[in-house]
Structure 1
Amino acid sequence: MNLGLYRSPVAHSDASLWALQFAALPDDIAGLAQVLQGLLVHEHMPDLYGITLSDRQRGEPHVRGAGEILERIAVHDSRPLSHPRPPGERFAGCCRHYALLLVAMLRSKGIAARARCGFGAYFTTDRFVDHWVTEYFDAAQGRWILADAQIDDRQRALFGIDFDTLDVPREKFLVAGDAWRLCRAGRADPQAFGVLDMAGLWFIASNVIRDVAALNNREMLPWDVWGGMTLVDSEIDPAFIDGVARLTHEPDRHLVELRTVYDDPRIAVPPTVFNAVRGRPEAVSPFAHSA
């Protein structure tokens, strides 16, 4: 198993000089999750914390890189990261920001970690919601573990979650490729996978592309659109997504193939992507092919 690809911060997970702060943080996953919960607030849950997002916070979910996220946190509040901020003063992000920062923190400590794009089954009944978590390798147990650093006590109560969100059962979070394979086999309804009023095979296929990009250390925003993504089921190349989804099920067995398929223009993140929330193209920092 080649863990080296996921041990070093690169591209979006590279916090640059801000990573110096990570040395003072806890080494355990629970401690790091608690730190993140004191730094971030989910952009769609301000009411849960009794706040209204400020103008500053409303723009923050579109920040892509860990370095810029931490810079913005520090500029607003220069205290060490271990000091929890009041909800109204936190950086406003989404699930992907929690996942990315946890990846950055774990990699800085030499722990293999990667962001995974897929669908969570623990937010609403009979629906798999568009979601990101962190997957890290526990050397003592010899296995990859899914950790959802977003879920704090308030969210646990709100969603009625009764399992350990720092060791999410695989049936509770489906990586996008597994969701695709279930639907293609007729074992799940594609309309159960999505967010708000957006769902279907096209949504799942787009998340498969995002997950492959993340497995190649390109953790994009959940609403970044590029390459082979489409809003119409009929425009999907199902055979192509079938093959890619198979690779993401056991990525460590298929790292060479995953890196090769990333060169396909339907998968590779271009210099400019379309931000579907803002409705505009946006430049992405150039990426060197990671080692």
Structure 2
Amino acid sequence: MVQQEHPAEGARRAAAYAGVMCIHKFQVNAMNNNYFSTASVFTDTANFRSILENLPSDIESICQFTQNLLIHAYWFERYGCDFDEATQFKEMQLRYISDIFERAESKGEKDLTSPRKAQNRIVSICRDFSLMLCSILRAKGIPARLRCGFATYLRSNHFEDHWICEFWSERKSKWVMADAQLDSLHRDTLKIDFDPCDFPQDKFILAGKAWEICRSDKENPELFGINGFSGLAFIKGNVIRDLFALTKIELLAWDTGWGILQEYITPIADENELSLMDELAVHSSLSDVPAANEAIESCKQITLPDDWGWFKSPSIKDLYSKHREYT
């Protein structure tokens, strides 16, 4: 079963695919960070821009603002609260940052900057924490982008499926990784010993790098995944999601239904697909934005169909229903 498309979704879909894709090549080939300092259709803060522009610009403050609005779907008990399944599915399915802010306004304090109880936060996953941080930074004109890969700090002896935000540091003249999900409770529970707003690159393995590591037999691909899902087929999905993120198409973590990503776990078909993934993984591993853009536009195995709509992708509810044994 797939979601029904809301009329507003159709307009956004057209902008996200037709309108945005046609200008990607020009923007990316400019080879400057201005590309990532402007909003995508998914990170457009819309009516909330003026509020967000007035927030402090330091990463720690923006992360604290984000943590006040969102609660991770797997951490309810630690915060001492719970949400019914319908609320979980509805809020986890929010794709656009403007919808997340609108939902936040409807719960608890209307003022987004006021402290709120955990029960009044939006049920989210790592992608949403990173999306909010990225959206606010772009609203302030600071280059930022989502990255999909695997964290080394969420579970011991495991590479956990995860999303983080990279932002461009003018002071350091490089991309810096930040994890907006790591509030004080996360840091204490997980015994985090690094700065979540500027952490070492070995703490987060880009999806393309994870593919390369496993293909060279340096790590076991079964150690990469989440909730019982793992292996090269899982890593493949994250490589594709990371390439989309590099072109400012910030997918939901369970978006599937096209090309070689027909299902959440789509087995690798043959040696030709392995070779293709070897090539695509390099673009992710090197953060090669022009190459990622070219692949998303022209590689038929991963490019979105001309008639694609996000409503064609299964929802998180569909995913949970199909894979109850894992979730």
TM superposition score normalised by structure 2: 0.81
For structure 1, list consecutive stretches of 5 or more residues without a partner in the other structure. Answer: 281-291
Within the alignment, does 1:240 sit opposite 2:276 as a pair? yes
Confirm or deny: 8 A CA contact 1:228 1:265 kept in the other structure.
no
Within the alignment, does 1:195 sit opposite 2:226 as a pair? yes
1:76-225 matched pairs, under 5 angstroms: 76-225=107-256
- CA offset digits 1:240-278 (Å, max 9, x no partner): 111111112222xx3322211112243234324422632
Aligned mates of 1:82, 1:24 — CA distance in 2: 11
Confirm or deny: 8 A CA contact 1:52 1:88 kept in the other structure.
yes
Q: Paired residue for 2:90?
A: 59
Greater relative CO, 1 or 2 (CA 8 Å, sep 6+): 2
Aligned mates of 2:277, 2:106 — CA distance in 1: 42
**Aligned partner of residue 203 in structure 1, secondary structure:** helix
Q: Higher strand fraction: Structure 1 or Structure 2?
A: 1
Confirm or deny: 8 A CA contact 2:168 2:175 kept in the other structure.
yes
Q: Higher helix fraction: Structure 1 or Structure 2?
A: 2
> 1:68 is matched with which residue: 99, 104, 107?
99
Deviation at 1:24, TM superposition (A): 2.1
Aligned mates of 1:228, 1:15 — CA distance in 2: 32
Aligned mates of 1:234, 1:91 — CA distance in 2: 35
**Aligned partner of residue 294 in structure 2, secondary structure:** helix
Q: Which amino acid aligns with 2:48?
A: W
After the TM superposition, list the runs of 4 or more consecutive aligned residues in structure 1 that deviate by more than 4 angstroms: none
**Aligned partner of residue 35 in structure 1, secondary structure:** helix
Confirm or deny: 8 A CA contact 2:260 2:266 kept in the other structure.
no
Confirm or deny: 8 A CA contact 1:120 1:130 kept in the other structure.
yes
Aligned mates of 2:65, 2:316 — CA distance in 1: 28
Aligned mates of 1:166, 1:201 — CA distance in 2: 30
Confirm or deny: 8 A CA contact 2:109 2:116 kept in the other structure.
no
> 1:271 is matched with which residue: 302, 306, 309?
309
Which sits farther off after the overlay, 233-242 or 202-211?
A: 233-242
Within the alignment, does 1:255 sit opposite 2:289 as a pair? yes
Q: Paired residue for 1:49?
A: 79
**Distance 1:88-1:58 versus aligned 2 partners, 3 A rule:** farther
Identity %: 32
For structure 2, list consecutive stretches of 5 or more residues without a partner in the other structure. Answer: 1-30, 320-327
The number of aligned residues is 278
- CA offset digits 1:227-247 (Å, max 9, x no partner): 322535442611111111111
Q: Paired residue for 1:228?
A: 260
Aligned mates of 1:98, 1:265 — CA distance in 2: 31
